[in-house]
Structure 1
Amino acid sequence: MSLLQQLTADMVTAMKERDKETLNVVRMLKAAVQNEQIELGHDLNSDEEVAVMAREYKQRKESLAEFENAGRDDLVEQAKKELTIVEKYMPQQLSKDDVEKIVSEVIDTLGVDSMKGFGQVMGAVMPKVKGQADGKLVNQVVKEQLSK
């Protein structure tokens, strides 16, 4: 079942259950996927679907941080609920340990031993963890390992 079919089925379920919050989030996700299809001019493959979901997840995570900094508790709760709904459609996220293993393997493979090779390491790691790890986490792990 494609992501678009899954979103449509979940939208119907949310309508039947009269779950307005879930319905609104699923509608936004479905619209994002359809907009991406229109923009690219073809049905999305799994990598493109993951990229759309990762973008939507990141937007909500950034909104959550901004709401928390502004002290908007009412919006914080809503953003947390939206994040949990979006997480259902994301692939399983890698743990920090998994990211550290991948980064160390890439560093060993490339033979990088200083911060000068930071961009090179990031360029090699990000495609491997696309949609499975947050860029900030990868950035942090690469900096930690290169500064040793």
Structure 2
Amino acid sequence: MRNKRSVRGKRPWREGDKHFKCIEKKLSIVDECLVRGNRGVVPLKLRGAVLSMIHAGHQGIERMKQWGCEYVWCPGMNKEIENICRGCLMCNSWASMPRKDKRSVWPKVVRPWERIHLDFLDFENKIYLLVVDAFSKWMEYEEVR
């Protein structure tokens, strides 16, 4: 991070705000922005707008918390996310229908060499072609360079 400095002694928040006082050692200022670790600290004036952006996808409580905790921090954010989702009809409709896993499943193989998997391996400045039989997990390799 560029231009990172501690906030100790500066206190760029309201006096008496217990949420900031207890995490003061985790806060710093980077390019004139207050951050907690790698996450931006959301000022009170912008909290509603940031929570609206997090909620825009209507992905439900857990996904909103996950996204929010990855990028931003504000006191009581998890509770505010829960309140927003509980009051949203679209989020509630998704909650009763868990999303299906869209990963594809390989068809089951019944005999050796019916399906193989190929990949290149770069090891100790040499390149190998790997071939793995999906049925037996037998592996063959050949140096190609």
> Which bracket does the TM-score occupy, shorter chain normalised?
0.3 to 0.5
Structure richer in helix, relative to its length: 1
Structure richer in strand, relative to its length: 2
When normalised by structure 2's length, the TM-score is: 0.34
When normalised by structure 1's length, the TM-score is: 0.33
Whose Rg is larger? 2
